[in-house]
Amino acid sequence: MTKKWWHDKVVYQIYPKSFYDPNGDGIGDIPGIICKLDYLRELGVDILWLSPCYQSPLADQGYDISDYYAIDPRFGTMEDMERLIAEAKKRGMYILMDLVVNHCSDEHEWFRRACEDPDGKYGDFFYLRKKEEGKLPTNWRSYFGGPVWEDLPGTDRQYLHVFHKKQPDLNWENPELREEVYKNINWWLDKGLGGFRIDAIMNIKKALPLRDYEPDREDGLSSISNMLQDADGIGRFLGEMRDRTFKKYDAFSVGEIFNEKPEDLPDLIGENGYFSSMFDFNETTFGESPKGWYDAAPITPDDYKRCCFEAQARIGDIGFLSNIIENHDRPRGVSHFIPEGECCTESKKLLAALNFMLRGIPFIYQGQELGMENTVFSSIDEVDDISTHDEYRTALDAGLTPEEALKAVSRFSRDNARTPMQWSAEKNAGFTKGTPWLRVNPNYTSINAAAQMADPDSVRSFYKRLIALRKDPAYKETVVYGLLEPVWEERHNLMAYYRRGEKTLLVIGNQQKETQEVTLPCGHTKVLINNYPDMEEHDGTIRLKAYQVLVLEMCQ
């Protein structure tokens, strides 16, 4: 495998709206990110991925872009963005932006011009169909609920939107549209970006001609995934994008890719893949139901282990997955993956270490390093996220009471991860002096960065140790490139694996509060990571405490 500059990096995802708000309007902003660069540098992260801060009506919190060349004034100015890139660079850090090009906003100029003249140049930037009374062009269900077709204002056409109706899909079949996208990517890369996280990218290729699929819910509609399974030929677009943009700059690109076929992995992220990396969503999507969030199954520690090992086995040494515990679309990982009632400092550290030591590029979502938890919603009116509102309606339609529906969607609401970053025990968690755009999680008085920075045993201090181990010249080659080999796979609530490179490391995690013992196959020379002050060992047998996690250096 050719070594790349991003292989040994650690990425930190920032959700700008909720990160830090120095000017007190209740909305986090780019100057706020600049204020916190030293905090991030001190943690040890190298690459910052910013969720969108382009000009946007914020119908889907910035994933609906109305100008790809402008920063939304709520987040700052273009000068702020340039300053951020420069300040990051001074600290040896890189900035990634979010590339959202499956769709734009219905307030984008292209869309406005398509409405004015659907038969003109911009009409072909979108998927438009003649409106027929009583019949939609296809029966696809949008990701955010309801049909994917909406009337194109002032015309006799309808347009396609696989996400919200304020997010019209762009027509990638049109070479002129593709040129516009590449021009924009290169414009940003010329500004010195390290690369992009690429949003919802597998949706850009539609199965043509557009047609109906088997309905899969009472509403008579069919999930987009049914159409996507049928869509061939995305490689032509992705390969072209790579060659025209990322490749020329040696930029880092990480794709948001779901439901890929194993045989496509080499094309996606192999040597000369379309992307540098892609997220492993095997754990976060486990238990999902086609019926909706209300029907999702919980994930047990054994499931978690199986999901990680499956993903690792599938990728082997083809390329580098990007490993996540959570992101802005998911509940907080500690609330989701740790069994109910057992979320504590030790179990949070265990989850961190088991994930961080996997082969791939570790991503930390803001607040994850503090072990931030899901928030509490006392009413659906407290929820901002559009997809939570849709899932709430789906749950009610399925016969759940409002209380049950609220409880069900609270477990998955995207707002769990979007509450403001908890900086300190001060008012509003030190996020803003104004009124935060989304309610702060009330537990900020106990979970916050200030307290954890002062505490060598905090979750954050533990993350710092994990990052430091990844960078330690003595272990780096093994942690970054070493092969992963599961061990004791059949043991209940025990996740363990070797990382084999220049050195041999053994990661062992006891995923339960009861103690359990493991007998090491050979001796070890060092305990590199331990979430307890000590390790109980007699004659090669280790008695693991509640949620104890260890990284051992083994004798060769």
Q: Is 49 in the site for ligand GLC (CB under 6 A)?
A: no
Q: Record the tokens describing residue 533, joined without a space.
A: 């002050």
Shortest approach of Ca ion to residue 444 CB, angstroms? 18
Contact (Cβ atoms closer than 8 angstroms) between residue 515 and residue 545: yes
Q: What mask of x and - would describe binding to ligand GLC in positions 249 to 268, judged by CB under 6 A?
A: -------x------------
3-state secondary structure of 139: coil
Going along 235-368, which residue ranges are E strands?
A: 252-255, 277-280, 320-323, 361-365
Q: Is 43 in the site for ligand GLC (CB under 6 A)?
A: no
Shortest approach of ligand GLC to residue 199 CB, angstroms? 5
Cβ proximity to Ca ion, 20 vs 392, nearer residue: 20
Q: What is the amino acid identity at position 384? A: D
**Catalytic position from the list 169, 256, 283, 390:** 256
Q: Which of 124, 303, 310, 329 binds ligand GLC (CB under 6 A)?
A: 329
Cβ proximity to ligand GLC, 96 vs 479, nearer residue: 96
Q: Is 352 in the site for ligand GLC (CB under 6 A)?
A: no
Shortest approach of ligand GLC to residue 167 CB, angstroms? 6
Cβ proximity to ligand GLC, 60 vs 80, nearer residue: 60
Q: Which of 159, 163, 246, 475 binds ligand GLC (CB under 6 A)?
A: 163
Q: Which residues pair with 279 in a beta bridge?
A: 322
Q: What mask of x and - would describe binding to Ca ion in positions 5 to 44, judged by CB under 5 A?
A: ----------------x-x-x-x-x---------------
For residue 399, count other CB atoms closer than 10 A to its CB.
9
Q: Is 369 in the site for Ca ion (CB under 5 A)?
A: no
- Identify whether 124 is a catalytic site residue: no
Q: What mask of x and - would describe binding to Ca ion in positions 104 to 143, judged by CB under 5 A?
A: ----------------------------------------
* 424: nearest Cα among 397, 452, 405, 465: 452
- Identify whether 256 is a catalytic site residue: yes
Taking the C-alpha atoms of residue 258 and residue 255, their distance in angstroms, rounded to an integer, is: 9
Burial of 198-207, coded b for 16+ CB within 10 Å and e otherwise, reads bbbbbbbbbb
Consecutive H or E run containing 227? helix 224-228
Cβ proximity to ligand GLC, 212 vs 329, nearer residue: 329
Q: Which of 21, 29, 46, 60 binds ligand GLC (CB under 6 A)?
A: 60
Q: Is 122 in the site for ligand GLC (CB under 6 A)?
A: no
Consecutive H or E run containing 391? helix 386-397
* 97: nearest Cα among 252, 269, 216: 252
Q: What is the amino acid identity at position 169? A: D
Alpha helix locations (H) across 59-123?
78-90, 109-116
**Catalytic position from the list 21, 60, 98, 199:** 199
Burial of 54-83, coded b for 16+ CB within 10 Å and e otherwise, reads bbbebbbbbbbbbebeebbebbbeeebbee
- The residues annotated with a catalytic role in the active site are 199, 256
Binding site for ligand GLC (CB under 6 A): 60, 63, 100, 163, 199-200, 256, 328-329
